[in-house]
């Protein structure tokens, strides 16, 4: 049993939907049971949101979900028609009809449960089931949406509920790359990547898959495969949940990067228990998400405290820190910089190999790139550098870790 998810560009016109029909028909003819999850036709969601904003400056979330969820509903009907025209049996379901039950957090709902019985019955009757991605229904019958990119999550959640053999995510790229090929032409498609690596790659700005869908897949042990919907052949990238399934034994899988962040440092903070909360509490109360957090050991009873926030929230965060936090905690001053970039090397091989960090730092030093912040996890090392060195840093790291070479 295979779940296939097609994004907006893959179903962007009747012609493209017919391409999807041909691909689904191919898998069906190979004897698979197939459930197809689709997004709205590309541009449609934005068109609907624009209409909503003409009616209400800040559209009511429940009513916005009512309007926006029609996008996928159109696609499921059209795709089912196309499958029937090709002589196949097909049936469409909205999220509410499947009963993809979510909480009531309109525009960013979370899936609570999926009733898979109807789908199972249809599959047993040789029917291709077509499900609207991105949407569900709360316990009161209100239509909800999962937020942008939520169709991936729908695909994975259905794969988990049905215990499908594989969840194929069709997109406009043909897999996950060692880094962004637009920045490094030598970037290479990975045949496999582990979930942990994918999570780090996704959270660090690699836009192939929505982060939540990867978490979901990892949690429910769903095999994910990223494929191009515009190429007939190609095996894409398989995202595995067991390291020994990963055939490529490279130490580093890829270089991720992100230029959406800004850095803030609170200087001369008294080095005492509870200080981190006193600094970050007011920031998070203002709904500003904090990413990297660095605090070094103190000298003479005071320390510097640094963290990164999204660039859009930089000035908001600076205001809070200067006007509320600095006088309250008695810090010396608050400095910030929104011309930074974060670069990370990611790979499960790091666990068993020493020297990755020093190789990374040496490579950057040889190019005269100063490292402003460092943060590590078990499978990644991230550094913050001046934004203007981003491209250079990614290229030299990609080469230093032999990512342009097929691994042995």
Binding residues: 5-8, 45, 72, 171-172, 177, 182, 207-208
Tokens of 1: 């049993």
Number of H helices, E strands in the chain: 14, 20
Please give the Cα distance from 131 to 154 (Å, whole number). 9
Query: Smallest distance from the beta carbon of 157 to a copy of itself, in angstroms?
Result: 20
Q: Does 115 bind a copy of itself (CB under 8 A)?
A: no
How many CA atoms within 13 Å lie on the side-chain side of 209? 38
Exposure on the CB side of residue 229, measured as CA atoms within 13 A:
24
Tokens 């919907």 found at: 229
Closer residue to a copy of itself, CB minimum distance, 63 or 386: 63
Q: Taking CB under 8 A as the rule, which mask of x and - marks residues 2-31 in contact with a copy of itself?
A: ------------x--xx-------------
Does residue 229 interact with a copy of itself by CB under 8 A? no
Written as six digits, the tokens of 220 are 């429910």
Q: Is 228 in the site for a copy of itself (CB under 8 A)?
A: no
> Measured between alpha carbons, how far is residue 319 from residues 306, 328, 338 in Å?
15, 14, 14
* The Cα angle at residue 82 between residues 80 and 88, in degrees rounded to 5: 75
Of 89 and 267, CB closest to a copy of itself: 89
Among 1, 9, 49, 97, binds a copy of itself (CB under 8 A): 97
Q: Total residues at the site for a copy of itself (CB under 8 A)?
A: 38
Nearer to a copy of itself by Cβ, of 79 and 156: the residue is 79
Helix (H) or strand (E) holding 34: strand 34-38
Q: Is 102 in the site for a copy of itself (CB under 8 A)?
A: no
Q: Which residues of 297-308 are buried (b: 16+ CB within 10 A; e: fewer)?
A: eeeeebbbbbbb
Subset of residues 140 to 159 that bind a copy of itself, contact rule: CB under 8 A: 141-143
**Least separation, in Å, of the C-beta of 20 and a copy of itself?**
11
Please say which residue, 92 or 154, places its beta carbon nearer to a copy of itself. Answer: 92
Bridge partners for 308 per DSSP: 263
Which is closer to a copy of itself, CB of 54 or CB of 406? 54
> Nearest approach, Cβ of 232 to a copy of itself (angstroms)?
21
Q: What part of residues 51-80 is at the interface with a copy of itself (CB under 8 A)? A: 51-52, 54-57, 59-60, 62-64, 66-67, 69-70, 73-74, 76-80
């Amino acid at each position: 049993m295979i779940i296939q998810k097609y994004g907006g560009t893959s179903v962007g016109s009747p012609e493209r939907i017919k391409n999807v029909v041909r691909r689904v028909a191919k898998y069906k003819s190979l004897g698979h049971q197939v459930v197809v999850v689709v997004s709205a036709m590309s541009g449609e969601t934005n068109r609907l949101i624009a209409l909503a904003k003409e009616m209400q400056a800040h559209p009511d979330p429940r009513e916005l979900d009512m309007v926006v969820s029609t996008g996928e509903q159109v696609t499921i009907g059209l795709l089912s028609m196309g499958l029937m025209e090709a002589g196949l049996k097909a049936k469409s379901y909205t999220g509410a009809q499947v009963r993809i039950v979510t909480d009531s957090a309109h525009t960013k709902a979370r899936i609570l449960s999926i009733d898979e019985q109807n789908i199972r019955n249809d599959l047993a009757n040789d029917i291709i089931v077509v499900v609207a991605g991105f949407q569900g229904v709360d316990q009161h019958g209100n239509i909800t949406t999962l937020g942008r990119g939520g169709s991936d999550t729908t695909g994975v959640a259905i794969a988990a509920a049905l215990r499908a053999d594989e969840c194929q995510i069709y997109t406009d790229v043909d897999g996950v790359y060692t880094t962004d090929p637009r920045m490094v032409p030598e970037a290479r498609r990975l045949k496999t990547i582990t979930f942990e690596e994918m999570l780090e790659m996704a959270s660090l700005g690699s836009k192939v898959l929505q982060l939540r869908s990867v978490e979901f897949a990892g949690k429910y042990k769903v095999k994910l495969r990223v494929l191009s919907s515009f190429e007939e052949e190609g095996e894409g990238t398989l995202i595995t949940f067991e390291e020994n399934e990963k055939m490529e034994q490279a130490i580093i899988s890829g270089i991720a990067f992100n230029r959406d962040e800004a850095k803030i440092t609170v200087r001369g903070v008294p080095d005492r228990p509870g200080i981190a909360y006193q600094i970050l509490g007011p920031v998070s109360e203002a709904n500003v998400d904090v990413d990297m957090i660095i605090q070094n050991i103190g000298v003479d009873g005071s320390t510097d405290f640094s963290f990164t926030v999204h660039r859009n929230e930089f000035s908001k965060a600076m205001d809070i820190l200067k006007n509320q936090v600095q006088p309250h905690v008695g810090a010396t001053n608050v400095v910030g910089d929104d011309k930074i970039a974060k670069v990370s090397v990611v790979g499960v091989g790091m666990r068993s190999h020493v020297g990755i960090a020093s190789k990374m730092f040496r490579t950057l030093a040889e190019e005269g790139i100063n490292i402003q912040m460092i943060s590590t996890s078990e499978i990644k090392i991230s550094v913050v550098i001046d934004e203007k060195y981003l491209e250079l840093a990614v290229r030299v790291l990609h080469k230093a870790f032999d990512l342009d070479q097929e691994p042995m």
